[in-house]
């Protein structure tokens, strides 16, 4: 593989500079006091702004993630931080949401979907443009897996295929745009895929790989909040990947999102969901084809 250039990660972090002036710890040994009321306020705010239903057992996770924002903003209590957020959050709303979103992903995660996806691409062929939306792109492994499947299906003739990759979290989208990963993130890919679709870093870039430019060219990255009443995503779509994100929403919120997805799909379009997600409560919108793959209910 060839050498590629990229900037080194910045040393330290926003929490490091503030760590020298920590407020007094609460009786429970935590750096900041964190009451049941604070947690309920967080649950309410993240639901209102991102549709995420936080489980009552997530208190420790919420504390550890938002404590970084308290240090960064100089707040000495969760109550002060949340008060300021509600009064005039500005850009802090984005950082608040980014802190509480989970971005577990990998290349070709839930691999049983990709042969079904490839077969669908083959059925459409090259007779018309193909539009694909990856609605929970995270750090990019999923949309690049989609692009690899497109390239393996159509060879070099991929100009008719476009992929929209979106996420709520702007931090992970920046990682996705760069397409640079530690070697261990691609170690499960076949040698053939590594040779064909990645560049290996050498010298100061040793230990990293970069996605090849031709894959990046297929993908447009953009921020989309699935709670929005409409999406800046061009329809009609042939495929929607919405995997392992609906589990963070309650059933009414899931239904609202699915109701927005349905008119965006081609009549023969497919939607891929995560292995633990089921949309039986939206049977009027989508019908299951098995293996967490869905088609429009009206398509028979």
The whole-number pLDDT of residue 300 equals 60
The whole-number pLDDT of residue 29 equals 64
Write out pLDDT tens, residues 31-74. Answer: 888 999 999 999 999 988 878 888 888 888 899 889 989 999 99
Half-sphere exposure of 29 (CA within 13 A, CB side): 1
For residues 157 and 7, the model is more confident at: 157
Both tokens assigned to 35: 């009451």
Please state, rounded to an integer, the average pLDDT across all residues of the chain: 87
Strand arrangement of the beta sheet that strand 198-200 belongs to: 180-182, 208-211, 198-200
First to last CA, the chain: 47
Q: Give me the mean pLDDT over the 207-217 stretch.
A: 95
Q: What is the DSSP letter of 160?
A: T
Percent of the chain with pLDDT over 70: 89
Place of tokens 């309650």: 250
Residue 99 scores a pLDDT above 90: no
Residue ranges per structural domain of the chain: 24-100, 113-181+213-296
CATH of domain 113-181+213-296: 3.40.50.150
The whole-number pLDDT of residue 5 equals 42
Place of tokens 């100089």: 74
The whole-number pLDDT of residue 49 equals 80
Instruction: Output the pTM of the full model.
Output: 0.76
Confidence of residue 17 (pLDDT cuts 50, 70, 90): very low
Residue 25 scores a pLDDT above 70: no
Confidence of residue 88 (pLDDT cuts 50, 70, 90): confident
Both tokens assigned to 108: 């070709």
Residue 124 scores a pLDDT above 70: yes
Q: Give me the mean pLDDT over the 120-126 stretch.
A: 97
Confidence of residue 21 (pLDDT cuts 50, 70, 90): very low
In this structure, are residues 206 and 238 in contact, taking their beta carbons and an 8 Å threshold? no
Q: Which residues are catalytic?
A: 65, 167
Place of tokens 């309410």: 44
The whole-number pLDDT of residue 13 equals 31
In this structure, are residues 255 and 51 in contact, taking their beta carbons and an 8 Å threshold? no
Q: Give me the mean pLDDT over the 246-259 stretch.
A: 92
The whole-number pLDDT of residue 10 equals 26
Considering the segment(s) 24-100 as one domain, its CATH architecture is: Orthogonal Bundle (1.10)
Same fold for the pair 24-100 and 113-181+213-296: no
């Amino acid at each position: 593989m060839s050498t590629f250039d990229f900037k080194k990660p910045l040393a330290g972090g926003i929490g490091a500079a503030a760590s020298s002036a920590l407020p007094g710890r609460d009786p429970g040994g935590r750096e900041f006091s964190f009451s049941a009321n604070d947690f309920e306020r967080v649950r309410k705010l993240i639901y209102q702004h991102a549709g995420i239903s936080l489980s009552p057992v997530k208190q420790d996770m919420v504390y550890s993630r938002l404590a970084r924002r308290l240090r960064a903003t100089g707040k000495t209590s969760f109550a002060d931080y949340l008060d300021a957020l509600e009064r005039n959050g500005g850009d802090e709303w984005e950082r608040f949401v980014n802190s509480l979103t989970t971005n577990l992903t990998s290349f070709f995660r839930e691999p049983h979907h990709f042969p079904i996806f490839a077969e669908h691409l083959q059925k459409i062929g090259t007779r018309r443009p193909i539009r694909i939306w990856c609605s929970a792109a995270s750090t990019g492994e999923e949309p690049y897996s989609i692009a690899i499947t497109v390239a393996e299906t159509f060879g070099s003739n991929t100009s008719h295929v476009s992929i929209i990759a979106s996420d709520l979290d702007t931090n992970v989208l920046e990682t996705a745009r760069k397409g640079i990963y530690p070697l261990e993130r691609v170690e499960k890919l076949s040698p053939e895929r590594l040779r064909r679709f990645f560049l290996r870093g050498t010298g100061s870039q040793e230990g990293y790989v970069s996605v090849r430019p031709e894959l990046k060219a297929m993908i447009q990255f953009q921020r989309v909040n699935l709670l929005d009443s409409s999406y800046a995503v061009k329809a009609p779509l042939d495929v929607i990947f919405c995997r392992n994100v609906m589990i963070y929403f309650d059933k009414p919120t899931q239904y609202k999102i699915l109701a927005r997805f349905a008119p965006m799909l081609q009549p023969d379009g497919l939607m891929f969901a995560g292995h633990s997600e089921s949309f039986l409560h939206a049977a009027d919108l989508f019908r299951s084809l098995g293996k967490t793959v869905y088609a429009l209910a009206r398509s028979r």
